[in-house]
Amino acid sequence: MTRNLFGTDGIRGTANAEPMTAETALRVAMAAGRHFVHSNGRPKTGHRPLAVIGKDTRLSGYMLEPAMVAGFTSIGMDVVLLGPLPTPAVASLTRSLRADLGVMLSASHNPYQDNGIKLFGPDGFKLSDDVEHEVESRIDRLGAEDRAPADRLGKVRRLEDAQGRYIEIAKNTFPKGMRLDGLKLVVDCANGAAYKVAPRVLFELGAEVIEIGVTPNGTNINAGCGATAPDAMCRAVTEHGAHLGIALDGDADRLIMADESGRIIDGDQIMGLIAASWAEAGLLRGKALITTVMSNLGLEQYLEGIGVSMHRTKVGDRYVLEHMRSGDFNLGGEQSGHMIMSDHATTGDGLIAALQVLAVLISSGKPMSEVASVFMPLPQLLKNVRYTGEPPLDTESVKMAISDGEARLAGSGRVLIRKSGTEPLIRVMAEGADENLVADVVNDIVREIERAAG
C-alpha cells in the first residue's frame, strides 16, 4: 500500500512547498472531511458535520489554517478553531466536542521552516495506515459533487476557552489531594504550542514555575530550546536551584526532564519510572510497557527484574499506540520522549507524563536524581546520516558493514539501522556492554553509508 503524502506522523514538509502548500491543505481537508462524514453515518438532519483545528506557533500556521478552513467549509462542514494548543489537547477536544475529525497543524520537533498536518478521528486517536490511504486516494477523486451547495456551506467559530479546557483536563490527571507546593520547577515550552498552558497547569497545582521558551514569534519554535535542545532547561535548573526541569517539544507531545543537578532524564528513564510506579500500584494493565526498537536494553532488563514485560514496535508513537490498543495496554512511549498513557490521553502528552513523574517524586520524598535513576543504561550511540536521492541502504558495501557490525556485537548488544519517516536521514544505532566497540561499530557503518551516499 503506497502513500505519497502521509508519513509516520501525518503529512510533513517544508512550508509553502509541496506537499505543505495551501492548495494541498485545502484538498486534504476536503478529502478527510468527506471520508469521515460518510464513514460516521451521521444523519443528514439534526447534526452539522464538525472539524476542529489546532496549531502550534509556526508562522506557516497562518497560511495552512485558513486553507483547511476553506476545504472543510466548502464541503459543508462547520469548523471550530482552537488556536495554539498541544497536540494531545486537540485530540482530546476532538472527542469531547463530538467532532467528526480533528486537525493539528505542527511539525512537532522540526524547525519552523517545516510544518505538518496531523489528523484525528472522532475517537481522538491518530488515523491508521488504512484510513490515511483512503483519505489520500480520495484526494485524487475530488470533484464538483463533493462541494456543498451555497446554502449548506460550513460556518466557523473560535473556541475561546480551549486552553482552559485542556488545563483542567491535565490537572485532573494529577492525584487527588496532592499538590506541588514547595517545588521549584523549570518548564521549557520550546516557544511552541504549550507556551501558555504548561506553566499555568504547574502554577495552579502549587509550584513555583521558572518559564523559558514562552515567547514565540513564529520562527523560534524548537530553536535552541525544548525537548530536542534541553541544555537551556538544564542550565536554568542549576541557575535557579530548581528541583527539576521539564522540557516539551513544539507540539508538547514529547517530554525530556532534568534532575536538580541539571542531568538529563530521557524517555527510557521516564517510562521505567512510571511503569514501576503503576505496576506497584496495580495500575499497569497487562504488566507491560510498550516501546520501540530504540529503547535501551538496560530498560528491558530492569523491567524483567520487576516482573514487567517490554514489547517493542517500529519507531513512531503511532505504532506504539496501535500495539497498546490491540492488547489493551495503558502505558507506552519512546526513548525520544513520547509518553502515551491511554487512561488519560489518546496520544502522547508530555505535560501529563511530567505530572505522573512529579506524583512519584512527591510520594517518595526523595530528590529527583534518586527517583529518576531507574536503571543503568547500556552504552548506546545514535548517529544520523543525511542523504540526497535514494537512501543507500541497498548498496552491497553498506549491507556488508551492517552485517559485520551485527556479528561483532552478537551476544552482547545489537545494531539498528532505519530511515527517518520525516527527514532524509538514515539513523544508525548500536548498543552493547562495550562502549568502545559500540562506537567503532556505529562509526564504521556511518562511514560506509556516507561513502555510498556520495
275, 331 contact by CB (below 8 A)? yes
Q: So what's the pLDDT on residue 1? A: 41
What is d(CA 325, CA 330) in angstroms, rounded to the nearest whole number? 8
What is the residue-wise DSSP string for 130-178?
Answer: HHHHHHHHHHTT--GGGSPPGGG---EEE-TTHHHHHHHHHHTTSPTT-
Q: Quick one: pLDDT band at residue 3, thresholds 50, 70, 90? A: low
Question: Is residue 236 pLDDT above 50, yes or no?
Answer: yes
Bridge partners of residue 79, in order along the sequence: 51, 156
Q: Measuring CA to CA, which residue among 386, 433, 388 is closest to residue 413?
A: 433
* Interval 308-326: pLDDT, tens: 999 999 988 889 999 999 9
% the chain with pLDDT above 70: 97
Q: Quick check: is 108 catalytic?
A: yes
* Interval 95-135: pLDDT, tens: 999 999 999 999 999 999 999 999 999 999 998 888 999 99
Question: Which grid cell is 62?
Answer: 497562518
Question: Is residue 45 pLDDT above 60, yes or no?
Answer: no
Q: Quick one: pLDDT band at residue 157, thresholds 50, 70, 90? A: very high
Phi-psi region of 96 (alpha: psi -120 to 50; beta: other; left: phi over 0): alpha
**Given the C-alpha cell 496520544, which residue does it identify?**
347
Catalytic position from the list 108, 277, 295, 342: 108
For residue 263, the one-letter residue type is: R
* Interval 359-384: pLDDT, tens: 999 999 999 999 999 999 999 999 99
Bridge partners of residue 418, in order along the sequence: 427
Number of H helices, E strands in the chain: 14, 19
